Structure 1
Amino acid sequence: MTAPGYSVFGTAIGDCGIAWSERGVIAVQLPEGSEEKTRARLAARLPQATESTPPEEIQRAIDGIVSLMDGKRTDLTGVELDYEGVPDFHHRVYEFIRTIPAGKTLTYGDIANILGMPGGAQAVGQAMGRNPVPIIVPCHRVLAAGGKDGGFSARGGVATKRRMLVIEGALADEPTLF
């Protein structure tokens, strides 16, 4: 079996990273403040992976992420993911989250109800916090009750989440003083 690979690439929100196995994408790393920090974080998450040129299908995923973060409506549901080691419930949540289109949001409670788990909003939130492939599984499109931001585990926290939602047109730009 070929060892997993990873690559770092630029986006409108900063340098992101992606890692893959023979079966699909295994990780997406949101910006860590610099290309070097993003690379180091991805390498720490996946010490068995080596930095390499992405195969064609992974390059298509990268191009899609870049396009989405440029504000273009981009469908990433065709990107193959490798869910090895991901709990079944999380897998189920992630596959549902992938169907939320850019520019739209749902709450943790909405998702729990749709998945037949009334009262399961906290479990959905825990799955979001462990999402190994943000952007491809767009956890930033999931809000707390009442449309509140909720949490976001990437560097920059909720500010990063809001920035991504503004880019996608799900939130209006922050008001200015003038």
Structure 2
Amino acid sequence: MRQRLPYGPPGAFCVFPTAIGHCALVWRSPGVVVGSALPHGSAAATRDAMHRRYPSVAEAVPDGVLASAVASITLLLDTGSADLTGIDLDLSAVPEFDRRVYEVVRTVPAGVTLTYGDVASQLGSPGAAQAVGQALGRNPFPPIVPCHRVLAAGRQVGGFSAGGGRRTKLRMLDAEGVHLEHPTLFEL
């Protein structure tokens, strides 16, 4: 993940359908992602959330590397299999600790999970599991920074700040072949 200097305000965003709902990608030229979002309930709600978070952005059709990023995100959420590590992120507004957390989490491949404590240990701060969880709760790049692959101790789901909460996290993990909870008769 290359650190970028600020390029100015975000320039554009798009909303696109996936298996879990309409997601969004926000970028600035030349093809650097400044944010993304998991579904907010509908395409319109996701679009509104992007306008609130980035008031100056205009909706646009991505091309080049940004179109490839959208295709890769869609593939990951549809099939559970895609590598998003090549997507260039602007981390200039991200605090140093959060940046370090995202760098570790970004190396976790689809179908693999870590705990908040595992991430803290990899950072050299074994007592910082709660701080890792807070950093992931602020993740401006889901699922490019795959915070859904980080679990609480004992392989418990833990929290998830995206729309749909734990259910969305479980659905994303399930698509990647990680099965933490079995459905009940009422969820079949």
- Normalised by the length of structure 2, the TM-score is 0.90
Unaligned runs of 5+ in 1: none
1:22 shift after superposition = 2.5
Aligned residue runs from structure 1 range 42-61, under 5 A:
42-61=50-69
Aligned residue runs from structure 1 range 26-175, under 5 A:
26-171=34-179, 174-175=182-183
**Distance (whole Å) between structure 2 residues aligned to residue 145 and residue 21 of structure 1:** 37
1:84 shift after superposition = 1.8
**Distance (whole Å) between structure 1 residues aligned to residue 118 and residue 180 of structure 2:** 22
**How far does the alpha carbon of each residue in 1:66-86 deviate from its partner, in whole angstroms, 9 at most, with x for none?**
111111421110000011210
Structure 1 residues 129 and 51: CA distance shift in structure 2, 3 A: same
Residue of 19, 37, 44 corresponding to 1:12 = 19
**Distance (whole Å) between structure 1 residues aligned to residue 152 and residue 39 of structure 2:** 23
SS of the aligned residue for 1:70 comes to helix
**Distance (whole Å) between structure 1 residues aligned to residue 165 and residue 92 of structure 2:** 26
Q: Mean alpha-carbon deviation: is it higher for 149-158 or for 16-25?
A: 16-25
Structure 1 residues 159 and 16: CA distance shift in structure 2, 3 A: same
**How far does the alpha carbon of each residue in 1:24-75 deviate from its partner, in whole angstroms, 9 at most, with x for none?**
1111111111110010001111012111111311111100011111114211
CA RMSD across the alignment:
1.6
Please state if 1:22 is matched with 2:29: yes
Contact 2:14–2:24 at 8 Å: present in 1 too?
A: yes
**How far does the alpha carbon of each residue in 1:79-122 deviate from its partner, in whole angstroms, 9 at most, with x for none?**
00011210011111101111100011000000100110010001
SS of the aligned residue for 1:15 comes to strand
- Normalised by the length of structure 1, the TM-score is 0.94
**Distance (whole Å) between structure 2 residues aligned to residue 112 and residue 103 of structure 1:** 20
Q: Percent identity?
A: 52
Q: How many residue pairs end up in the alignment?
A: 178
Unaligned runs of 5+ in 2: 1-7
**Distance (whole Å) between structure 1 residues aligned to residue 115 and residue 99 of structure 2:** 18
SS of the aligned residue for 1:110 comes to helix
**Distance (whole Å) between structure 2 residues aligned to residue 157 and residue 129 of structure 1:** 11
Contact 2:80–2:172 at 8 Å: present in 1 too?
A: no
Structure 1 residues 151 and 72: CA distance shift in structure 2, 3 A: closer
